[in-house]
Amino acid sequence: MRQRVILVCSECLSRNYTTAKNKLNTTERMEIKKFCPRCNKHTIHKETK
């Protein structure tokens, strides 16, 4: 039931991370604060479509 999702930096729009989530339990999009190597700082990463 878990599906892979891609996380995108909200500032530079680079696709840095992939993770898995259960789409039955969490229907809204993921939003995590992670380190972006391109921006060289911690930014909010959002799930793509």
Model confidence over 12-37: pLDDT tens digits? Answer: 999 999 999 999 998 999 999 999 99
pTM for the model: 0.84
Q: How far apart are CA 40 and CA 11, in angstroms?
A: 11
Beta strands in the chain (DSSP E): 2-9, 15-22, 31-36, 41-47
